[in-house]
Amino acid sequence: MAERGVLGLFTSAEAAASAGAALREAGVEFEVLTGSPYPEGAFGEHTPPHRLYVFPLVGALCGFSVAILLTAGTQLAYPLVTGGKPVLSIPPMAIITYEGTMLGAILFTVLGVLFESRLPRPLLGLYDKRITLEGWVGILVRGEEGLLGPVERILREHGAVEIKRG
Protein backbone atom coordinates (compact mmCIF):
# COMPACT_ATOMS: atom_id res chain seq x y z
CA MET A 1 0.00 0.00 0.00
CA ALA A 2 1.26 3.47 -0.80
CA GLU A 3 0.24 5.14 2.42
CA ARG A 4 2.10 4.32 5.61
CA GLY A 5 0.78 3.73 9.06
CA VAL A 6 1.75 4.21 12.69
CA LEU A 7 0.64 1.99 15.54
CA GLY A 8 0.85 3.17 19.11
CA LEU A 9 0.62 0.56 21.86
CA PHE A 10 -0.82 1.41 25.25
CA THR A 11 -0.81 -0.73 28.36
CA SER A 12 -3.93 0.88 29.83
CA ALA A 13 -7.27 1.54 28.21
CA GLU A 14 -7.48 4.94 29.89
CA ALA A 15 -4.31 6.16 28.23
CA ALA A 16 -5.44 4.83 24.90
CA ALA A 17 -8.81 6.52 25.34
CA SER A 18 -7.24 9.90 26.04
CA ALA A 19 -4.94 9.48 23.07
CA GLY A 20 -7.95 8.63 20.94
CA ALA A 21 -9.76 11.74 22.14
CA ALA A 22 -6.72 13.86 21.37
CA LEU A 23 -6.44 12.43 17.87
CA ARG A 24 -10.10 13.10 17.33
CA GLU A 25 -9.67 16.71 18.33
CA ALA A 26 -6.76 16.88 15.90
CA GLY A 27 -9.21 15.57 13.34
CA VAL A 28 -7.25 12.41 12.59
CA GLU A 29 -9.03 9.20 11.67
CA PHE A 30 -7.74 6.26 13.67
CA GLU A 31 -8.44 2.59 14.35
CA VAL A 32 -8.37 0.87 17.72
CA LEU A 33 -7.06 -2.66 18.18
CA THR A 34 -8.06 -4.45 21.38
CA GLY A 35 -7.86 -7.99 22.67
CA SER A 36 -11.38 -7.90 24.03
CA PRO A 37 -14.55 -5.94 23.32
CA TYR A 38 -15.08 -2.52 24.88
CA PRO A 39 -18.38 -0.61 24.98
CA GLU A 40 -18.96 1.31 21.78
CA GLY A 41 -17.21 4.66 21.64
CA ALA A 42 -15.04 3.87 24.64
CA PHE A 43 -12.01 5.34 22.87
CA GLY A 44 -13.86 8.22 21.30
CA GLU A 45 -13.54 6.39 18.00
CA HIS A 46 -16.47 6.45 15.59
CA THR A 47 -17.56 3.16 14.02
CA PRO A 48 -18.99 3.43 10.51
CA PRO A 49 -22.53 2.03 10.20
CA HIS A 50 -23.00 -1.57 9.07
CA ARG A 51 -25.67 -3.27 6.96
CA LEU A 52 -25.66 -6.62 8.76
CA TYR A 53 -29.45 -6.77 9.12
CA VAL A 54 -29.90 -6.90 5.37
CA PHE A 55 -28.12 -10.21 5.05
CA PRO A 56 -30.48 -12.48 7.03
CA LEU A 57 -33.46 -11.02 5.19
CA VAL A 58 -31.95 -11.75 1.79
CA GLY A 59 -30.87 -15.20 2.94
CA ALA A 60 -34.31 -15.95 4.31
CA LEU A 61 -35.89 -14.99 1.00
CA CYS A 62 -33.51 -17.20 -0.98
CA GLY A 63 -33.99 -20.14 1.36
CA PHE A 64 -37.74 -19.68 1.32
CA SER A 65 -38.07 -19.67 -2.44
CA VAL A 66 -35.71 -22.61 -2.95
CA ALA A 67 -37.54 -24.68 -0.35
CA ILE A 68 -40.95 -23.84 -1.83
CA LEU A 69 -39.80 -24.85 -5.29
CA LEU A 70 -38.21 -28.04 -4.02
CA THR A 71 -41.18 -29.23 -1.95
CA ALA A 72 -43.93 -28.18 -4.32
CA GLY A 73 -41.95 -29.39 -7.30
CA THR A 74 -41.31 -32.84 -5.83
CA GLN A 75 -44.96 -33.36 -4.98
CA LEU A 76 -46.26 -32.18 -8.35
CA ALA A 77 -43.59 -33.94 -10.38
CA TYR A 78 -44.54 -37.30 -8.83
CA PRO A 79 -48.32 -37.15 -8.23
CA LEU A 80 -48.38 -40.25 -6.05
CA VAL A 81 -51.30 -40.40 -3.63
CA THR A 82 -50.17 -41.39 -0.16
CA GLY A 83 -52.57 -41.88 2.70
CA GLY A 84 -55.32 -40.05 0.85
CA LYS A 85 -53.53 -36.77 1.42
CA PRO A 86 -53.79 -34.14 -1.32
CA VAL A 87 -51.07 -34.44 -3.94
CA LEU A 88 -49.94 -30.91 -3.04
CA SER A 89 -49.96 -31.05 0.77
CA ILE A 90 -49.33 -27.65 2.31
CA PRO A 91 -48.47 -28.48 5.95
CA PRO A 92 -45.44 -30.64 5.12
CA MET A 93 -44.28 -27.96 2.71
CA ALA A 94 -44.62 -25.41 5.48
CA ILE A 95 -42.29 -27.38 7.72
CA ILE A 96 -39.51 -27.90 5.19
CA THR A 97 -39.88 -24.37 3.88
CA TYR A 98 -39.45 -23.10 7.41
CA GLU A 99 -36.21 -25.00 7.76
CA GLY A 100 -35.00 -23.81 4.39
CA THR A 101 -35.79 -20.21 5.26
CA MET A 102 -33.89 -20.41 8.52
CA LEU A 103 -30.95 -22.13 6.86
CA GLY A 104 -30.72 -19.39 4.27
CA ALA A 105 -30.96 -16.71 6.94
CA ILE A 106 -28.20 -18.29 9.03
CA LEU A 107 -25.83 -18.84 6.14
CA PHE A 108 -26.21 -15.29 4.92
CA THR A 109 -25.84 -13.89 8.42
CA VAL A 110 -22.50 -15.63 8.80
CA LEU A 111 -21.40 -14.34 5.41
CA GLY A 112 -22.63 -10.91 6.44
CA VAL A 113 -20.66 -10.96 9.66
CA LEU A 114 -17.47 -11.87 7.83
CA PHE A 115 -18.10 -9.32 5.09
CA GLU A 116 -19.06 -6.49 7.41
CA SER A 117 -16.04 -7.08 9.66
CA ARG A 118 -13.88 -7.08 6.50
CA LEU A 119 -12.74 -10.67 6.89
CA PRO A 120 -10.93 -12.70 5.72
CA ARG A 121 -7.97 -10.35 5.65
CA PRO A 122 -4.94 -11.83 3.86
CA LEU A 123 -2.34 -9.58 5.52
CA LEU A 124 -2.44 -8.53 9.13
CA GLY A 125 -0.60 -5.29 8.40
CA LEU A 126 0.49 -3.22 11.39
CA TYR A 127 -0.27 -5.33 14.42
CA ASP A 128 1.24 -6.49 17.69
CA LYS A 129 0.84 -9.83 19.44
CA ARG A 130 0.72 -8.20 22.84
CA ILE A 131 -2.73 -6.85 22.01
CA THR A 132 -4.21 -10.30 22.57
CA LEU A 133 -1.49 -11.63 24.86
CA GLU A 134 -1.07 -8.76 27.31
CA GLY A 135 -4.35 -6.93 26.77
CA TRP A 136 -2.57 -3.89 25.37
CA VAL A 137 -4.55 -1.42 23.32
CA GLY A 138 -3.26 -0.41 19.92
CA ILE A 139 -4.16 2.83 18.17
CA LEU A 140 -3.49 2.74 14.45
CA VAL A 141 -3.36 5.72 12.12
CA ARG A 142 -2.88 5.47 8.37
CA GLY A 143 -1.90 8.38 6.23
CA GLU A 144 0.80 10.30 4.42
CA GLU A 145 4.31 10.37 5.81
CA GLY A 146 3.92 14.02 6.74
CA LEU A 147 0.89 13.34 8.91
CA LEU A 148 2.38 10.49 10.85
CA GLY A 149 5.02 12.59 12.63
CA PRO A 150 2.61 14.73 14.69
CA VAL A 151 0.40 11.70 15.24
CA GLU A 152 3.31 9.80 16.71
CA ARG A 153 3.99 12.76 19.00
CA ILE A 154 0.39 12.81 20.20
CA LEU A 155 0.52 9.08 20.88
CA ARG A 156 3.73 9.40 22.87
CA GLU A 157 2.34 12.33 24.86
CA HIS A 158 -0.54 10.18 26.01
CA GLY A 159 1.72 7.40 27.16
CA ALA A 160 2.19 5.04 24.25
CA VAL A 161 4.77 2.55 25.50
CA GLU A 162 5.79 1.60 21.99
CA ILE A 163 5.38 2.97 18.50
CA LYS A 164 5.42 0.85 15.39
CA ARG A 165 5.88 2.25 11.90
CA GLY A 166 4.93 0.34 8.81
- Cβ count near 159 (within 10 Å): 15
144 binding another protein? (CB under 8 A): no
129 vs 142: CA distance, rounded Å: 19
Using CB under 8 A, which of 27, 118, 144, 146 touches another protein?
118
For the bound state, the minimum distance from the C-beta of residue 162 to another protein, rounded and expressed in Å, comes to 16
For the bound state, the minimum distance from the C-beta of residue 107 to another protein, rounded and expressed in Å, comes to 7
Q: Interacting stretch for another protein, rule CB under 8 A, among 82-90, 141-149, 155-163? A: 82-90
49 vs 73: CA distance, rounded Å: 41
161 binding another protein? (CB under 8 A): no
51 binding another protein? (CB under 8 A): no
Size of the site for another protein (CB under 8 A): 76
Full DSSP string of 52-68 = TTHHHHHHHHHHHHHHH
68 binding another protein? (CB under 8 A): no
CA separation (Å) from 113 to 19, 28, 119? 29, 27, 8
Do residues 4 and 10 make contact, with C-beta atoms less than 8 angstroms apart?
no
3-state secondary structure 90-109: HHHHHHHHHHHHHHHHHHHH
CA separation (Å) from 70 to 9, 60, 61, 75, 95? 55, 15, 14, 9, 12
Give the residue among 145, 152, 149, 120 at the shortest CA–CA distance from 1: 145
Using CB under 8 A, which of 2, 27, 77, 144 touches another protein?
77
91 binding another protein? (CB under 8 A): yes
Measured from the CB atom, the residue of 135 and 149 that comes closer to another protein is 135
Measured from the CB atom, the residue of 2 and 53 that comes closer to another protein is 53
Using CB under 8 A, which of 2, 27, 119, 146 touches another protein?
119
22 binding another protein? (CB under 8 A): no
Using CB under 8 A, which of 1, 27, 82, 144 touches another protein?
82
